[in-house]
Structure 1
Amino acid sequence: MHPKYGYACWLWVALLAVLLSGCSVLGSFIESELSRYAEPTEGPLAHIRLMGSRNVKLYPNSNCVSVAVPGSGYPAGPQMGGQRKRDVGMPKAAEMPKHYVEVAARAGERITAAFSFYSESYTPGIPGTGAPGTRRSASCFAAGSFVPVAGENYEVTSDWRWDGCSVKVMRLVTSITGSLRRVPVPSEAAQRCSASGESTSP
């Protein structure tokens, strides 16, 4: 199944689940799905390119993930099927993926990027045997945080492999010849926030 439709399917399944679980949960779900990242426009800024999943959210001034984090949300605004491509003119390598989201972030302030993945597949039964088909679904979530430096450009990417998904942060360095080099940046794995606002294990 195409990732766009897979995400849409996941969204409807999740919506049905929260409808069955109560109004307070539904309110949090709607708030999360309609949230928009509060992108800064003034003060010392860095720029971040997000790649790997269309379902990605940012949590500014936070080392954990929660709908309650002020200014958190989808970096290109909420929409069904995942984020639209967004380009703010960051330096680019010769080969780029078809989809990415570029945003500004406040320098010197920790920011968390959270990626969600979902896939669904269907294997039909053997013809003539009456055996039913098999439907499978899988999901993965990964979040990471780091502190950007003023004037720098970063790529935050997430990959989903057989052993799970993870977040990687790279600083983009442009040489005098114009070539682009990626330098690893220390980052911390992020989890859901606890009631006190600190990071906690799921």
Structure 2
Amino acid sequence: MGVTTSKPDQKSLSYRIRDELKQDILQGVLLPGTQLRQESLAKRFNSSRIPVREALRQLEVEGLVKSKLNRGAIVSTPNLNDVCDLLEIRIALECRAAKLAVPNMTSEDIARLTEILNAYSLAKTPAECAENNRQFHLALCLPANNKQLTALIKQYCMSTSSPYANFHLDMTTATDIEAVHQDHYAILDACKARDVEAVVTILENHIKATKLCLLKFQQCV
């Protein structure tokens, strides 16, 4: 009796397609305005158009993709007001996660944060800086050991520190990279000291500074 090889589950395939496209958008591989052709994507992912269509629908719900008449799906252009609103959500979620995380941090967690900041120091492009920034904030929150909180942070927070969110401007003009890096080391030092209040305070001011820079940019355009 022969063994039947089942096709990949359409739902799980659509999630994989969504996640890969989302990463490409957030990292600036797919720039705002890029047309997302279902036929081409189906070939890329070796699938039918059905999971591709579902993945694009999910990305549209997240605001990363927009349907255009006669053009199909395209990568959305980020709205600075929306990014600023998300930064306020970041303050609430990340500060709560940090408050829970710092008392749980192990030497391995501190080593991971240090490793990311070392990579940040060697970054040569805004995209590399943004990716290290995202990784640092996520690593800071993970020891909270709260899966739902982490999922919310990934959904609402990580995109605001990506090349996608900074599409309108060179990141070097949006934020002072050196000042951002100093904040990160201050957060790391406070984590080493297990000073929860200091971590939360620095983190909140750090995110507020990002919002202020974006608002200043908006007033200049």
TM normalised by structure 1 equals 0.26
TM normalised by structure 2 equals 0.25
The structure where strand makes up a greater share of residues is 1
